[in-house]
Amino acid sequence: MIRAGGAMTARSRGGRSPAFEVERIRQDFPVLGEKIRGKPLVYLDNAATSQKPHVVIDTIRQFLSTYNSNVHRGVHQLSERATEAYEQARTRVQGFINAAESREIIFVRGTTEAINLVAQSYGRTHIGTGDEIVISAMEHHSNIVPWQILCEQTGAVLRVVPINDDGEMLLDEYVTLLTPRTRLVAVAHVSNALGTINPVREVIRLARRQGVPVLVDGAQAVPHLKVDVRELDCDFYAFSGHKVFGPTGIGVLYGRARLLEAMPPYQGGGDMIKSVTFAKTVYNDLPFKFEAGTPHIGGVIGLGAALDYLDGVGLDRVTAYEDELLVHATEALSAIPGVRIIGTAKEKASVVSFVVDGVHAHDIGTVLDHEGIAIRAGHHCAMPVMQRFGVPATARASLAFYNTREEVDALVRGIHKVIEMFV
Partner 1 sequence: MDDFYREFILDHYKRPRNFGTLEDPDVTHEEDNPLCGDRIRIDLKLREGHVADVRFTGQGCAISQAAASLLTEKIKGASLERVRGFSKEEMLEILGVPLSPIRLKCGLLALKVLKTGLYGLQRWPGEEG
Ligand X SMILES: Cc1ncc(COP(=O)(O)O)c(C=O)c1O
Contact range with partner 1 by CB under 8 A, out of 89-97, 232-240, 277-285, 366-374: 366-374
192 binds, among ligand X, partner 1, none (CB under 5 to 8 A by kind): ligand X
136 binds, among ligand X, partner 1, none (CB under 5 to 8 A by kind): none
Q: What angle do CA 156, 213, 93 make, to 5 degrees?
A: 125
219 binds, among partner 1, ligand X, none (CB under 5 to 8 A by kind): ligand X
370 binds, among partner 1, ligand X, none (CB under 5 to 8 A by kind): partner 1
Q: Does 379 bind partner 1 (CB under 8 A)?
A: yes
Residue whose CB is less far from partner 1, 304 or 343: 343
The reply to whether omega before 287 is within 30° of 0 (cis) is yes
Which listed residue (153, 176, 210, 366) binds partner 1 by CB under 8 A? 366
Which listed residue (104, 132, 168, 217) binds ligand X by CB under 6 A? 217
Residue whose CB is less far from ligand X, 168 or 217: 217
Contact range with ligand X by CB under 6 A, out of 19-27, 30-38, 178-186, 216-224: 216-224
Q: Where are the beta strands (DSSP E) in 12-54?
A: 35-36, 39-40, 42-43
Q: Compute the distance between CA of residue 137 and CA of residue 215 in angstroms, rounded to an integer.
A: 15
Contact range with partner 1 by CB under 8 A, out of 107-115, 195-203, 322-330, 363-371: 363-371
Q: Are 278 and 340 in contact (CB under 8 A)?
A: no
Q: Does 421 bind partner 1 (CB under 8 A)?
A: yes
Of the residues 381, 385, 410, 411, which is catalytic? 381
Q: Is 349 exposed, middle or buried (0-12, 13-18, 19+ CB in 10 A)?
A: buried
46 binds, among partner 1, ligand X, none (CB under 5 to 8 A by kind): none
217 binds, among partner 1, ligand X, none (CB under 5 to 8 A by kind): ligand X
Mind giving me the DSSP string for 93-156? HHHHHT-S-GGGEEEESSHHHHHHHIIIIIIHHH--TT-EEEEETT--GGGTHHHHHHHHHH--
Which listed residue (59, 85, 110, 318) binds ligand X by CB under 6 A? 110
Which listed residue (378, 398, 399, 419) binds partner 1 by CB under 8 A? 378
398 binds, among ligand X, partner 1, none (CB under 5 to 8 A by kind): none
Q: Compute the distance between CA of residue 67 and CA of residue 71 in angstroms, rounded to an integer.
A: 11
For residue 145, give every residue at least 6 positions away whose Cβ sits within 8 Å of its Cβ, in sequence order, or none: none
220 binds, among partner 1, ligand X, none (CB under 5 to 8 A by kind): ligand X
Q: Are 238 and 116 in contact (CB under 8 A)?
A: no
Q: Compute the distance between CA of residue 282 and CA of residue 115 in angstroms, rounded to an integer.
A: 25
Amino acid (1-letter code) at residue 44? L
Amino acid (1-letter code) at residue 332? A
Number of Cβ within 10 Å of residue 321's Cβ equals: 26
Q: To the nearest whole angstrom, how small is the minimum distance from the Cβ of residue 199 to ligand X?
A: 16
Strands 236-240 vs 251-255: parallel, antiparallel or unpaired = antiparallel
Q: Does 357 bind partner 1 (CB under 8 A)?
A: no
Q: Are 70 and 64 in contact (CB under 8 A)?
A: no
Which listed residue (392, 405, 413, 416) binds partner 1 by CB under 8 A? 392
Contact range with ligand X by CB under 6 A, out of 27-35, 68-76, 135-143, 227-235: 135-143
For residue 306, give every residue at least 6 positions away whose Cβ sits within 8 Å of its Cβ, in sequence order, or none: 52, 53, 55, 56, 241, 244, 245, 246, 247
Q: Does 367 bind partner 1 (CB under 8 A)?
A: yes
Mind giving me the DSSP string for 325-383? HHHHHHHHHHTSTTEEEE---SSB-SEEEEEETTB-HHHHHHHHHHTTEE-EEE-TT-H
Query: 381 an active-site residue?
Result: yes
Q: Does 363 bind partner 1 (CB under 8 A)?
A: yes
Residue whose CB is less far from ligand X, 216 or 329: 216
Residue whose CB is less far from partner 1, 260 or 355: 355
Which listed residue (46, 121, 154, 240) binds ligand X by CB under 6 A? 240
Q: Give the dihedral sign, CA 334/337/339/340.
A: positive
- What 3-state class would DSSP assign to 275? strand
Residue whose CB is less far from partner 1, 201 or 370: 370
Residues marked as catalytic: 381
Which stretches of the chain bind partner 1, using CB under 8 A? 360-363, 366-367, 370, 378-379, 383, 386, 391-393, 421-422
Which stretches of the chain bind ligand X, using CB under 6 A? 47, 110-112, 140, 142-143, 188, 192, 217, 219-220, 240, 381
